[in-house]
Amino acid sequence: MKENFDIQNYMIKGVERVVSEAVKATLQNPRESAFMLKFAAASRSASKKRRTAEDNGEHIPPFLIASITSKCNLHCAGCYSRCNHATVDSEPVLQLTSEEWLKIFDEADALGISFILLAGGEPMLRRDIIEAAGKKQNILFPIFTNGTFMDEQYYKLFDKCRNLVPIMSIEGNREITDARRGDGIYDKLIANMDELKKRGLIFGASVTVTTQNYREVCSDAFLGELSSRGCKAVIFVEYVPVTDESRELAPSETEREYLQREITRLRKERPEMVYISFPGDEKSSGGCVAAGRGFFHINSHGGVEPCPFSPYSDVNVKNTSLREALHSPLFTALQSGDILLDDHEGGCVLYEKRELVEALLEQH
């Protein structure tokens, strides 16, 4: 279980597998296959750009997480983003415009970034930005959504722009999902999945793993249900406690080990879906891959941060290029130090060692 696991390689290979499956299904869905073939070529080209940069002493990560809004309509129990005040109910001010985000997407494309994960708040509240992302066909945009804003207009957009892939948040069965996210959310998600499958659209699921659902979300019953509804990827995110009251939701070392064993099993026994685990896969990939090692985060106001769980920034994309932001003093200090490689209790190493991150920020 402790063998070295290359999360970046696994994700890229996973996308390639989904691509090859889509190509095999050409007769049923020629549009999906045409896009996937083009994306496979674009992904190879982006990989070449990153290799060239590496040869020249510059590391470009393949992934970017973009929180395109801080507004959300749900109040999920223990939400880290609300606890950090990164998510609010009201209409936020001074957020990046769709034009500013499109500029970031253009720069990311030029650098060789292949995947931009759209997050929030609730990203589907920003239809303008998602439409802008749809124009960047070289980049795959997984959209981490609570699923409550899926409508006919979005289905048509996802059909037209196959690089937009909804990743819907689900916590397990109806009882567990509705207890954390609100009554009726589970049924809405299942209805969305059925509609996406009917239209031949690729989608995935995101699961926040807690002490209350860790066995359920690894079960063959739950994952078999997702697979039968057409789900192609499951992203397990271990709950990060950001208040003392929510600490009881964070999986223990024993529970995390159980999760990793099950994911290893699922990759062998249920290869029809791609499985990603944060931060479990990072630990077996040689440490945290935030702060530009494997990915980085841009918040809705343009602040460039190591990751969504570590909301510290010393540069803003409004004032600097994406390339320059990747060489920010904070990122440089984190990459050259030991914090990202440190062992930790689970959840997020940068959150757990936030005093050290804050100290680094103050030095620059």
- In this prediction, residue 137 carries a pLDDT of 92
Q: What CA–CA distance (Å, rounded) separates 19 from 287?
A: 29
Ranges 9-18, 153-162, 247-256, 288-297, most confident: 153-162
- Whether the CB-CB separation of 171 and 208 falls below 8 Å is answered with yes
23: pLDDT strictly greater than 60 = no
Is 0.85 surpassed by the pTM of this model?
Answer: yes
Pick the residue with more confidence: 13 or 130?
Answer: 130
Q: Which of 26-40, 285-299, 333-347 has the highest mean pLDDT?
A: 285-299
Q: Is the pLDDT of residue 26 over 50?
A: no
**Number of DSSP helices (H) and strands (E) in the chain, helices first:** 15, 9
Q: Decide if 140 contacts 167 (C-beta within 8 A).
A: no
Mean pLDDT to the nearest integer, 52-66: 92
Contact 1, 264 (CB under 8 A): yes
Q: How many CB atoms lie within 10 A of CB 174?
A: 16
* Predicted local distance difference test score (pLDDT) of residue 27: 47
Q: What is the DSSP-derived secondary structure letter of residue 71? A: B
Which residues, 6 or more positions from 138, have their beta carbon under 8 angstroms from its beta carbon? 39, 42, 45, 46, 109, 114
83-122 pLDDT per residue, tens = 666 666 666 778 999 999 999 999 999 999 989 999 988 9
Question: What's the pLDDT score for residue 309?
Answer: 76
Q: What is d(CA 146, CA 188) in angstroms, rounded to the nearest whole number?
A: 10
State residue 7's pLDDT score. Answer: 57
Distance CA(193)–CA(308), nearest Å, equals 27
Q: According to the model, what pLDDT value does residue 242 have?
A: 65
d(CA 150, CA 154): 6
Of the pLDDT bands very low, low, confident and very high (cuts 50, 70, 90), residue 4 is: low
* Rounded Cα gap, residues 128 and 149, in angstroms: 14
Q: Quick one: pLDDT band at residue 300, thresholds 50, 70, 90?
A: very high
Report the alpha-carbon distance of residue 279 to residue 250 in Å, rounded: 12
**Structure confidence at residue 364 (pLDDT):** 58
Residue 35's alpha-carbon distances to 60, 163, 181, in angstroms, are: 25, 8, 34
Rounded mean pLDDT of the chain?
83
Structural domains of the chain, ranges and CATH numbers in brackets: 7-11+61-363 (3.20.20.70)
pLDDT in tens, 302-312: 999 988 877 88
- With 50 as the cut, is the pLDDT of residue 41 above it? yes
Give the tokens for residue 109.
């494309």
334-352 pLDDT per residue, tens = 877 666 665 555 556 666 6
What phi and psi values does residue 238 have, to the nearest 5 degrees? -65, 135
Which region among 38-47, 103-112, 326-335, 351-360 has the lowest average model confidence (pLDDT)? 351-360
With beta carbons less than 8 A apart as the criterion, state whether 297 and 332 touch: no
Whether 185 has a pLDDT exceeding 90, the answer reads yes
d(CA 185, CA 32): 28
Cβ neighbors of 129 (< 8 A, separation 6 or more) are 68, 69, 98, 101, 118, 123
For 217-259, write each residue's pLDDT tens digit: 999 999 999 999 999 889 998 887 766 667 788 888 899 889 9
